Amino acid sequence: MKTFFALLMMLMMIASNCLAMTFSQPVEIGSVGGTPQGGFSIRGASYNNGTSYQNGKLDKQWGKLYEKGIARFGNDVDALYVHYDCSPNKNIEYWDAYSPKFGDKDAKRTVSLMAGEGEYVTIYKIKNTGDVTLYLLRSQGPVAGTTIYVLLGRRSDGVFVKYFDMEDINIKYFGLQKNKYGTTKGMRSSWYKNYHCQGNTITIEYERSHGRNGYAKEGEFRFKWDDKAQWFGVEHVVY
């Protein structure tokens, strides 16, 4: 009888592992970035309905630049939309004008990320065995310590949600504070660099500045998918 129950428990554990959502490695599908001369560079979009940047020039490095519009990455079923608008407006600050909105076709259900001069957002798609479409957004600035990751997901009911934002991690785990530009200040900012997926976990490593000695790896955050909660748990690992 004990052998029977042991076998039953083992089969149940195997079945549970088979049902758990697992992730493939993130694959880059495009990017949105601000250029030194202004305007947005849109790369990899499957659709982009936008007006040309006001100077109307083509740049050898950036290609055609756009001022206002909507870009779509992916197909109609699991697409990620980007709403951007850097049109001259005295009532809108530069930081707002160069913070495109990522997420749903409806701009009200999106997340803004900085993509101004010298900054850009790279879009990665994470294929998985579940019924949610995942997009990892990497917002990178011109200097170390300005990179931020955001994970967006489109659920089976079509609703976009933000699963995690490393700005929130900075506040909760490192005591930083947000300012009006959406960045953090206070203690030494973490530099989020490497990332990878394994099983049902997304891991993002970080480095911290040690002054003249440069940056050194100090730890990682593991975001583990919980099937029951339909959300990610967070584990902070210090090296």
pLDDT score for 145: 77
pLDDT on residue 59 = 63
Neighbours of 63 (CB within 10 A): 12
Residue % of the chain over a pLDDT of 70: 85
Count of other CB atoms within 10 angstroms of residue 183: 18
Whether the pLDDT of residue 32 is over 50: the answer is yes
Euclidean distance between CA atoms 200 and 220, whole angstroms: 16
C-alpha–C-alpha distance, residues 219 and 75, integer Å: 36
d(CA 72, CA 42): 10
The pLDDT of residue 55 is: 64
Question: For residue 64, what pLDDT is reported?
Answer: 87
Q: How far apart are CA 145 and CA 131, in angstroms?
A: 34
How many distinct helices (H) and strands (E) make up the chain?
3, 18
What is the pTM (predicted TM-score) of this model? Answer: 0.86
Question: Do residues 99 and 110 lie in contact, with contact meaning Cβ atoms separated by under 8 Å?
Answer: no
The neighbour count for residue 100, using CB atoms within 10 Å, is 26
- Provide the residue ranges of all domains of the chain, joining segments of one domain with +: 22-238
With contact defined as beta carbons under 8 Å apart, do 117 and 95 qualify? no
User: For position 35, what pLDDT does the model report?
Assistant: 85
Q: Which two tokens stand for residue 81?
A: 């939309």
**DSSP class per residue in 83-125:** EEE----TTS-HHHHT--EEE-SSGGGEEE----BT-EEEEEE
Residue 82 is encoded by which pair of tokens?
């980007």
Q: What is the pLDDT of residues 54-80, one digit of tens each?
A: 765 556 677 889 999 999 999 877 899
Mean pLDDT is lowest, of 51-60, 118-127, 140-149, 163-172, for 51-60
Round the CA-based radius of gyration of the chain to a whole number and report it: 20
